[in-house]
A and B are shown apart, each in its own frame.
Chain A
Amino acid sequence: MKMNNVILKTTVQVSFFIIFLFSIHIFLAGHFAPGGGFVGGLLTASALVLLLLTYDIKTVQKLLPINYMMMTAVGLALALGTASISVFFGDAFFKHYFSHFEIPLLGNTELHTAMLFDSGVYLVVVGVTMIIIQSIGGDE
């Protein structure tokens, strides 16, 4: 496909960031509003898929040199690590901690270890989706 698809490329350059930001929003809002790591991860992955569709795999790999296998591994480790924090404090496995903090710019914000766990989920979902699509798409 050697078509010079200017309109597509231009719109994607804008819409990629909108989708990406939206996915981050959905991911962060997960604890109080619909969303969370899973949907957020999937949406991020679809933003990346959009890039893949517009450009080809090699270009995307050059733009975003991410090892998705590593990403999945980091995600799993993060999720497991978060779940194990409580063990070191003498609590049961998988106990979460949260508290409210005054943070500059953001104001009174709740910080929650569940968020770390959710980040693990997010990373795994993005990583796995990209592994699947890249390996199937890149296959000759």
Chain B
Amino acid sequence: MTQVLLIFLPILFALLLPMLHKKISRVHTGWFVLLVPFALVLYYASFVPKIGDGPFTSTFYWVKSLDLSITSHLDGLSLLFSLLITGIGTLVVLYSIFYLDKKKEQLHNFYFYLLMFMTAMLGVVQSDHLISLYLFWELTSISSFLLIAYWYKRDKSRFGALKSMMITVFGGLMMLGGFLLLANAGGTYSIRELIANSSTIAESPYFVWMIVLILLGAFTKSAQFPFYIWLPDAMEAPTPVSAYLHSATMVKAGIYLVARLTPLFAISEYWIWFVVASGIITLFWGSFFAVKQTDLKGILAFSTVSQLGMIMAMLGAAGIALHVDSPQQTIFAFAAYAAIFHLINHATFKGSLFMIAGIVDHETGTRDIRKLGGLMSLMPISFTIAAIGSLSMAGLPPFNGFLSKELFLTSMLSLKEFELFNFSTWGPIIPWVAWIASIFTFVYCLYFAYYTFMGKGKVDKLPKKPHEAPIGMLISPIILATLVVVIFFIPNVIGKYFIKPAVLAIQPQLYNASSDVAIHVQAFHGFTPELKMTIGVVLIGFILFLTLKKWQPLYQLQPDKLSLNNLYDRMMRLADVDSKKISELYMTGAIRHYLMYMFSFIVVIVIATLFWKDGFNFSFENTAKIGLFEIIVVFVLVASTVTVFAARTRLTAIIALGAVGYSVALFFVIFNAPDLALTQLVIETVSVALFLLAFYHLPKLSRHEEAMPFKMRNFLIALGVGIMVTLLALSAQSQKLIPSISQYYKDTVYTEAGGGNIVNVILVDYRGFDTLFEITVLSIAGMAILGMIKLRLSKKEKKSNENE
């Protein structure tokens, strides 16, 4: 229970923030906030030594009857993510205390969103229940939306927030669909139980759909190709947010989901293909376009995209281990380990790089790499950190990026050897693409560090006079950079406590305990192909970097119209402007048109149904004889109806309408309905009088006394409606299924109801309920008319009302 409750600790603490912010405004609110992630880090760290003993589960039932629960399930994978979230969270909060000004910023909003995000993220990685996972997943989207738009007065922030919201929520909804299919096929919402039943789920006809839908969710969240476009625009957020959400945690939610569901879906070749292909394409695309960027955070955003693609590709390769014999002995076993290792490394170096970008922005007033340069001597500490982070990202020793890049190349080379699922055709290309992407990675890492800190800078022209950042701002990146170096020297300690338990969660089929994962990482293991590839990367990357100025302009060749951002903008315009145009086409505002739609649709629907259900079955056996009176009255009726339409003046039409009413009354007389005849006569008189009244009050100007113009379209629709009603009446008359109940009324009208006039007795006794509401309708009509006439506003009053 505590375990579940602690997920909610950040958001519960956030409720205190407005008070803290207002009452204790002397102290930066961030200091209070810092306590929360720090406490959580300590709590989760206490699990590290015992995580080998097995998962820790705690459940809180939310809606028991619907089997909805929030289950916190801590195994190696969730624990690793929880530590990343709270650990980097602590550092980011510390950094933000110095980054955000106490007086100028709305800190309570900022930390509220941040803590909300922390809860959401912890919920995502610890949930064992699909629905609660989805719930927290959307909460991350919402809090990310709020954080990106933190400076909501800037257009770009709002644009970026909306874009990330649209894309991630689209993915989230798709994922929900996948989850529902999955829960339907597996019969449970619990991820653990689903993984246990994975073989039955694989037989579901919707198996591929589940994969596609869930992967859409994971890919949109983790900024995979082609959904990465929201991430560069999300860089409008404050830098602590970019460092936290958009490099270390939220974008890894998709990675987490893929890793978590690998044991379930890796049976399928589609899963492996989709994950590997999207990862490789994203890796290449991100690293290729990172060199084009001129904004520091833009470079880092594209590099995040690229690195996420790299982790994704390794996770795809990790799925392959299920399909080979004796996987522990082959190099396929490396992929999952490599993915998790790189995930940790990426969080460390990318977090520190973002913080450095923030410091540079903070101290110089610009993030444009074309204006920066020569800051090395002014900001030595920042430069050191940036150099460590960049070189680690580039994959050079003695930094942790080197180790995971080697493992990455190992696992990509392993794809070449894999023979199932047509990998023999496309597999050999993959290591080459990965290698080229690594070269570009190397180039943009140098590009980032060199053009910011070295070279000839125009320091005097910067918006602010640069100087080294305050120590408080530097603590967090220093810690992260230290980790980058430390991990290089003790990779196997990290491996034992963090990576191997996580690998066990990804590949439970292969290992019984985390100690079974027999991978030992070392910096040098002979002249393997990986090492040669790395040497190649460094050499070619260096040459490319030196000639950067010559070929960088080539990026301008890409036309803006063909970019994915342009596609997104077009789609948004389609959803907004163009769909409005379409609805304006038929929503004309003219009641005439709406009536036309309604009438034509009812004709089509009814006649089509009659045809379809074979409803045309007319019989004239039980019809009564037609007498002379009926013929005469019908003749009068038809004549007066035609007159209504053919009348040249309104007065004629009104009188003809009266004639129609009186002939209907005559019908009632002929058909033995004296009550109806009486009522009809009186009502007709009153309504004709009212028509005349309305006629008299028509405005003078528009009183065109001319016959109704003939319109073919209206005629056809009217004809259709007439035919439809006639057909319907005829077929209803000829196909009576059950006899009428009127005999009962005839038998009991005196004995039961004490009356003689069946019509009236039905009205007040048998079915008095209807009458009660009919007189209510009458009263409402009367009051409405009274209200319309007595309570209408004069023009003067109307104007003054509008102004109010």
Residues of chain A at the chain B interface (Cβ within 8 Å): 26, 30-39, 42-43, 46, 69, 72-73, 75-76, 79-80, 83, 94, 96, 98, 110, 112, 114, 117-118, 120-121, 124-125, 127-129, 131-132, 135-137, 139
Contacts and interface: CB of A to CB of B under 8 A. Distances in A.
Contacts of B755: 31-32, 112, 114
B790 interface: yes
Contacts of B763: 36, 38
Interchain residue pairs A-B with the least CB separation, the first 5? A32-B756, A128-B782, A34-B674, A98-B754, A131-B782
Contact of A94 (B674, B769, B775, B783): B769
A96 B769 CA distance: 12
Given A34-B675, A39-B675, A114 B764 contact: yes
A36 B757 CA distance: 9
B761 A31 contact: yes
B707 interface: no
22 contacts: A32-B755, A33-B756, A34-B678, A35-B760, A36-B757, A37-B764, A46-B686, A72-B782, A75-B775, A83-B768, A94-B768, A96-B753, A110-B754, A117-B764, A118-B764, A124-B779, A125-B778, A132-B782, A135-B786, A136-B690, A136-B693, A139-B789
B789 A76 contact: no
Interface residues of B, number: 36
Contacts of A42: 679, 682-683, 686
B761 A83 contact: no
Residue in B779, B782, B790 with the greatest tally of chain A CB atoms within 10 Å: B782
Contacts of A139: 789
A118 B775 CA distance: 11
B642 interface: no
A79 B678 contact: no
A137 to B, nearest CB: 8
Given A32-B755, A32-B756, A34-B678, A125 B775 contact: yes
B757 A35 contact: yes
Interface in B740-768: 753-757, 759-761, 763-765, 768
A128 B675 contact: no
B196 interface: no
Interface string B771-790: 11001101101110110011
Contact of B675 (A35, A46, A75, A112): A35
A34 B757 contact: yes
A36 B760 contact: yes
Among A37, A72, A124, the most chain B Cβ lie within 10 Å of the Cβ of: A124
Nearest to B781: A128
B685 interface: yes
A62 to B, nearest CB: 20
B764 A36 contact: yes
Kindly name the residue among B683, B755, B764 whose own CB sees the greatest number of chain A CB atoms within 10 A.
B764
A136 B776 CA distance: 20
Given A131-B785, A135-B786, A135-B789, A46 B693 contact: no
Contacts of A83: 768-769, 772
A98 B779 CA distance: 28
Contact of B775 (A36, A69, A98, A120): A120
Nearest to B763: A36
A43 B681 CA distance: 11
B765 A96 contact: yes
Given A112-B754, A136-B690, A136-B785, A128 B760 contact: no
B778 A128 contact: yes
Given A94-B768, A136-B693, 6 more contacts: A31-B760, A35-B678, A38-B763, A76-B776, A96-B768, A131-B785
B357 to A, nearest CB: 75
Contacts of B781: 128, 132
Contacts of B778: 124-125, 128
Contacts of A73: 779
A101 to B, nearest CB: 12
Contacts of B789: 135-136, 139
A55 B756 CA distance: 40
B717 to A, nearest CB: 33
A125 to B, nearest CB: 7
A79 B771 CA distance: 9
B497 to A, nearest CB: 75
Instruction: Specify which of A30, A33, A43 lies most central, judged by the most chain B CB atoms within 10 Å of its CB.
Output: A30
Interface in B101-152: none
Contacts of B690: 132, 136
A79 B757 contact: no
Interface in B631-657: none
B764 A46 contact: no
Given A34-B674, A79-B775, A121-B764, A132 B756 contact: no
A99 B357 CA distance: 97
B100 to A, nearest CB: 65
A73 B679 CA distance: 22
A106 B722 CA distance: 54
A48 B760 CA distance: 24
A127 B685 contact: no
Contact of A124 (B686, B759, B775): B775
Interface in B674-706: 674-675, 678-679, 682-683, 685-686, 690, 693
A41 to B, nearest CB: 9
Nearest to A124: B775
Nearest to A29: B757
Contacts of B756: 31-33
B614 to A, nearest CB: 41
B123 to A, nearest CB: 52
Contacts of B760: 30-31, 35-36, 118
Contacts of B682: 39, 42-43, 46
A37 B678 CA distance: 12
Contacts of A36: 675, 757, 759-760, 763-764
A131 B753 CA distance: 33
Contacts of A34: 674-675, 678, 757, 759
A26 B775 CA distance: 18
A15 B583 CA distance: 61
Nearest to A123: B775
Given A32-B757, A75-B775, A131 B783 contact: yes
A121 B693 contact: no
Nearest to A99: B754
Nearest to B786: A135
Contacts of B772: 79-80, 83, 94
Contact of A129 (B678, B686, B761, B776): B686
B678 A135 contact: no
Contacts of B783: 69, 72, 131
A25 B764 CA distance: 17
B39 to A, nearest CB: 64
B690 to A, nearest CB: 7
Contacts of B761: 31, 114
A128 B778 CA distance: 7
A39 B790 contact: no
A96 B771 CA distance: 14
A63 B421 CA distance: 100
Contacts of B674: 34
B685 A46 contact: yes
B766 to A, nearest CB: 10
Nearest to A37: B764
Given A33-B757, A83-B772, A131-B786, A114 B675 contact: no
Contact of B779 (A35, A110, A128, A136): A128
A46 to B, nearest CB: 7
Contacts of A131: 782-783, 785-786
Nearest to B792: A139
A11 B782 CA distance: 30
A36 B785 CA distance: 26
Nearest to A82: B768
A35 B790 CA distance: 34
Contacts of A121: 764, 771, 775
A135 B779 CA distance: 14
